[in-house]
């Protein structure tokens, strides 16, 4: 068996090396396929690669910029009032459908999880009551093993991009990065089924991140009118066949997912605004708020239905994650000291968690590269370890007699829900550690958040709970199942928060349940570095405005402390995956570098003439990987009528549009410009939105190679341009805020015979580590300047 696995590993490595050699032959400036991180090259023209799902994929940018060519202008002028109203109505209709479907699927996921986990735990409790401990252990481990196996097999074999939370990829997409295969129907189905299996198996992960990804998948499929893979399209959605409108819909989907996870509509909108969205405007704010409002209505309807007992084991508490509305809030001015301690602890522990998780994920990348079997074995090993701990550790806790003031129906708890699980204890006693471990994750959070229970948990039990979930939180995230980071962080934070509440009990009026809530909030801020959206989410969960001031204080302290150590967990994952994400603020040393200096270290720009020969276009497309080409016209007459050989930058044409022209045989026998009616007969603006990028599928014969193509009608005549003297920092801010894919660099001085476009900047060119690979002294010189400034 060992020799077989060794041979399998050697064959995988050989195949990876062969692929690498082939890619280097095709494009010598491509990155190594052995590294998930972006390689630092000598030039700025490398092809970006990223670890998406289970493989290294080529990454392209999205066309968020409006392509103002002749077809677009004609369509915009010819739209009637009815068509404009139809477009606006469809926007709101799609926002409604995104919220409705996200709410329905979220309810379905929770119904399935609560019932599957409920039957599992009830069966285990029956075994324990019969003192058949070994049979109960085997049943518990076997059940969790099967559920994890189903979730992991689906992710490994059918949709690798469904593993993990999906939030970093959504964040990259809304930043302008086209993450492959992230929003297809297969990913959606695997995400739903995998989330049910993984969460019901009791793994230390949540369904919040997957719900955000599910909402985004729904929005993407609705926005593109179906799926390209199976050629399913709805013509009435042709208006949304572009990256800009799809971006807005995916923003609505992400907000709806957060709302479905926490039942927090305003928090969902703010989460998208603060964490995932790069582009924002007031009309998008209204539509995302409308989507989250629809989600809340759907959830409220199912809550009323489930409270009537028609949902099986579901409906015994809050819908979708937890309900802490009964937490009492009472504090004084002196309580600011323990609140400050919680914030500092949250920042320190959150940054430490990010650091350790970064190490674990790098190790998991090495394991996952060995093949599918290793991914499955890793997931199953984590599932078995989790099951053994959840079942075995409660036997270490001692039994506690029930409070005589509590009714017998409340303590001990024999069923699935409740704060006083009997487990292996005699009648009238309960096991506090079983209350936290042998239950669903949602119930565990609900139990540890419970207020007015100062003597329910022992210190030793809370310490075991905290240490266990710190370990599980590190080893569970990164396995090949859909997983979210919110719930593991909440469990860890609530553990140390409740422990601190027990130690500070004699010196404060704050309830231990409230300490648990503040601990969870502080660790989330310390790890994810979110403040406003987290504050509103916890406010909507607790339904208590009195909690607002101390929650704000805790979040601000935790984020400030965490930022002094490292980056947020989502930024770390983006870096590990190699996704070319543009940060909001440029580095200080970028102001010492101009875009002209950047384009000087790039290969010469490839330009096309307004009327170009077919052979030259085919040659350019086959021998370059560029996605945009400047279109120039030479020998033009100036407006004064004097012909002096002037050169005009007509605009920028995309690779996809060139391929469309070749596929449709948009050829001319003589070199001339076409009329507007000729273009409208051959092309529609809907067709130009299709992402056709494979030149190998285009067949052009020898006779057609000698013909010409008029590129003027297909060219974006209003591309964004900057002078070569502009700083890289300023160009980066423009690039990110406008959502560009290409930025033309023009010479500061126009002289006869000088090319009118000296270069094109792309996302890859503006990444800080790529620039430093070419200009390594920039950061050092900036550091010396800072030292001089401080000394003066």
Distance, in Å, from the CA atom of 725 to the CA atom of 740, rounded to the nearest integer, reads: 19
- Residue 225 is predicted with a pLDDT of 65
Distance, in Å, from the CA atom of 240 to the CA atom of 260, rounded to the nearest integer, reads: 25
Question: Residue 13: CB partners within 8 Å, gap ≥ 6?
Answer: none
Q: Quick: pLDDT tens for 422-461.
A: 888 888 888 889 889 988 888 888 888 887 777 888 899 9
**Helix 512-528 with 486-504: angle, nearest 10 deg:** 140
Residue with tokens 């090495």: 366
Query: How far from 240 is each of 90, 244, 603, 673, CA to CA, in Å?
Result: 9, 8, 36, 31
Asked if 82-307 and 333-381+398-577 have one fold, the answer is yes
- Residue 140 is predicted with a pLDDT of 94
- Residue 646 is predicted with a pLDDT of 73
- Residue 108 is predicted with a pLDDT of 92
- Residue 39 is predicted with a pLDDT of 34
CATH topology of domain 82-307: Clc chloride channel (1.10.3080)
Distance, in Å, from the CA atom of 505 to the CA atom of 343, rounded to the nearest integer, reads: 17
Which pair of structure tokens corresponds to residue 475? 């080893």
| Residue extents of the structural domains in the chain | 2-61, 82-307, 333-381+398-577, 588-790
Question: Residue 444: CB partners within 8 Å, gap ≥ 6?
Answer: 436, 437, 491
Which pair of structure tokens corresponds to residue 419? 């704060």
The parts of the chain modelled with pLDDT lower than 70 are 1-47, 54-55, 225-239, 313-330, 408-409, 415-418, 635-645, 685-686, 690-693, 751-754, 779-792
> At 45, is the secondary structure helix, strand, or coil?
coil
Reduced 3-state DSSP string for 3-36: HHHHHHHHHHHHHHHHHHHHHHHHCCCECCCCCC
Indicate the pTM of the whole model: 0.88
Distance, in Å, from the CA atom of 43 to the CA atom of 696, rounded to the nearest integer, reads: 27
Query: How far from 25 is each of 29, 41, 309, 344, 474, CA to CA, in Å?
Result: 9, 16, 65, 53, 40
Distance, in Å, from the CA atom of 702 to the CA atom of 700, rounded to the nearest integer, reads: 7
Distance, in Å, from the CA atom of 606 to the CA atom of 623, rounded to the nearest integer, reads: 11
Distance, in Å, from the CA atom of 429 to the CA atom of 346, rounded to the nearest integer, reads: 34
Query: How far from 776 is each of 41, 610, 780, CA to CA, in Å?
Result: 12, 39, 8
439: DSSP letter: S
Q: Provide the greatest CA pair distance for the chain.
A: 104
Residue 629, beta-bridge partner list: 653
- Residue 329 is predicted with a pLDDT of 65
Residue with tokens 């894919």: 741
DSSP 503-552: HHGGG----HHHHHHHHHHHHHHHHH---HHHHHHHHHHHT-GGGHHHHH
- Residue 44 is predicted with a pLDDT of 62
CATH topology of domain 588-790: CBS-domain (3.10.580)
Alpha-helical regions (H) of 130-236? 133-157, 167-175, 185-200, 208-223
Distance, in Å, from the CA atom of 666 to the CA atom of 551, rounded to the nearest integer, reads: 63
Residue with tokens 């103002």: 68
Question: Residue 132: CB partners within 8 Å, gap ≥ 6?
Answer: none
Q: How many CA atoms lie within 13 A of 632 on its CB side?
A: 20
User: Strands 49-52 and 55-58: what pairing?
Assistant: antiparallel
End-to-end CA distance of the chain: 68
756: DSSP letter: S
Residue 51, beta-bridge partner list: 56
CA dihedral 552, 557, 562, 563 (to 10 degrees): 90
Q: Which CATH superfamily is domain 333-381+398-577 in?
A: Clc chloride channel (1.10.3080.10)
């Amino acid at each position: 068996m060992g020799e077989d696995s060794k041979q399998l590993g050697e064959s995988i490595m050989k195949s990876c090396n062969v692929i690498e050699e082939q890619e280097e032959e095709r494009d010598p400036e491509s990155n190594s396929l052995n590294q998930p991180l972006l390689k630092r090259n000598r030039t700025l023209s490398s092809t970006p690669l990223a670890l998406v799902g289970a493989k290294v994929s080529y990454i392209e940018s999205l066309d968020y910029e409006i392509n103002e060519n002749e077809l677009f202008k004609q369509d915009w002028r010819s739209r009637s009032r009815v068509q404009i109203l139809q477009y606006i109505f469809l926007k709101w209709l799609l926002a409604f459908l995104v919220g409705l479907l996200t709410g329905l699927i979220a309810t379905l996921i929770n119904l399935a999880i609560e019932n599957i986990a409920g039957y599992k735990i009830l069966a285990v409790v029956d075994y324990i009551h019969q003192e058949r401990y070994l049979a109960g252990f085997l049943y518990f481990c076997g059940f969790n093993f099967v559920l994890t196996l189903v979730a992991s097999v689906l992710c490994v074999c059918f949709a690798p991009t469904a593993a993990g939370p999906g939030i970093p990829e959504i964040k990259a997409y809304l930043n302008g990065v086209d993450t492959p295969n992230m929003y297809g129907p297969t990913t959606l189905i695997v995400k739903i089924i995998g989330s049910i299996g993984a969460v019901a198996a009791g793994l230390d992960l949540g369904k919040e991140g997957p719900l955000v990804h599910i909402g985004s998948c729904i929005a993407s499929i609705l926005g593109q009118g179906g799926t390209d893979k199976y050629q399913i399209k709805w013509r009435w959605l042709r208006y949304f066949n572009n990256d800009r409108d799809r971006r807005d819909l995916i923003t609505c989907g992400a907000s709806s997912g957060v709302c479905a996870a926490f039942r927090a509509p305003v928090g969902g909108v703010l989460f998208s605004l603060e964490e995932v969205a790069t582009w924002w405007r007031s009309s998008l704010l209204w539509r995302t708020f409308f989507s989250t409002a629809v989600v809340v209505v759907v959830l409220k309807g199912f809550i009323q239905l489930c409270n009537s007992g028609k949902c099986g084991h579901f409906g015994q508490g809050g819908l979708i994650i937890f309900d802490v509305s009964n937490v009492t809030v009472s504090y004084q001015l002196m309580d600011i000291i323990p609140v400050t301690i919680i914030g500092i602890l949250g920042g320190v522990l959150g940054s430490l968690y990010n650091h350790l998780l970064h190490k674990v994920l790098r190790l998991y990348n090495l394991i996952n590269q060995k093949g599918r079997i290793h991914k499955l074995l890793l997931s199953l090993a984590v599932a078995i370890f989790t099951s053994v701990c959840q079942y075995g550790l409660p036997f270490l806790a001692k039994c506690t007699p029930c409070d005589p003031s509590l009714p017998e129906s409340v303590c001990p708890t024999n069923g699935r829900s409740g704060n006083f699980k009997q487990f292996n204890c005699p009648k009238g006693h309960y096991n506090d550690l079983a209350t936290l471990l042998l239950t669903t994750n949602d119930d565990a959070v609900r139990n540890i958040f419970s207020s007015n229970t100062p003597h329910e948990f022992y210190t030793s039990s809370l310490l075991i709970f905290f240490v266990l979930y710190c370990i599980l939180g590190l080893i569970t995230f990164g396995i090949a199942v859909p997983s979210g980071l919110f719930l593991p962080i909440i469990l860890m934070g609530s553990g140390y928060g409740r422990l601190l509440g027990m130690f500070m009990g004699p010196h404060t009026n704050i309830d231990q349940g409230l300490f648990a809530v503040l601990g969870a909030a502080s660790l989330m801020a310390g790890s994810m570095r979110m403040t406003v959206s987290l504050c509103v989410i916890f406010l909507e969960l607790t339904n208590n405005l009195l909690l607002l001031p101390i929650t704000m204080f805790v979040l601000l302290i935790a984020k400030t402390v965490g930022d002094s150590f490292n980056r947020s967990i989502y930024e770390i994952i983006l870096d590990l995956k190699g996704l070319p994400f543009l940060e909001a603020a440029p580095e200080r040393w970028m102001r010492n570098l101009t875009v002209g200096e950047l384009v000087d270290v790039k290969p010469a720009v490839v330009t096309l003439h307004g009327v170009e020969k077919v052979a030259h276009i085919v040659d350019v497309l086959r021998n370059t990987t560029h996605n945009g080409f400047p279109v120039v016209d030479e020998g033009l007459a100036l407006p004064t009528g004097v012909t002096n050989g002037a050169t005009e930058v007509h605009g920028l044409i995309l690779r996809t549009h060139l391929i469309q022209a070749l596929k449709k045989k948009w050829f001319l026998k003589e070199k001339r410009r076409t009329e507007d009616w000729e273009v409208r007969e051959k092309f529609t603006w809907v067709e130009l939105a299709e992402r056709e990028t494979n030149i190998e599928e285009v067949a052009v014969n020898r006779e057609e190679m000698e013909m010409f193509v008029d590129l003027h009608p297909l060219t974006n005549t209003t591309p964004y341009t900057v002078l070569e003297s502009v700083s890289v920092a300023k160009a980066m801010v423009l690039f990110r805020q406008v959502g560009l894919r290409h930025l033309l660099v023009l010479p500061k001085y126009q002289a006869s015979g000088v090319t009118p476009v000296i270069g094109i900047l792309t996302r890859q060119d503006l990444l800080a580590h790529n620039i430093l690979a070419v200009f390594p002294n920039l950061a050092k010189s900036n550091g010396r300047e800072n030292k001089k400034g401080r000394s003066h």
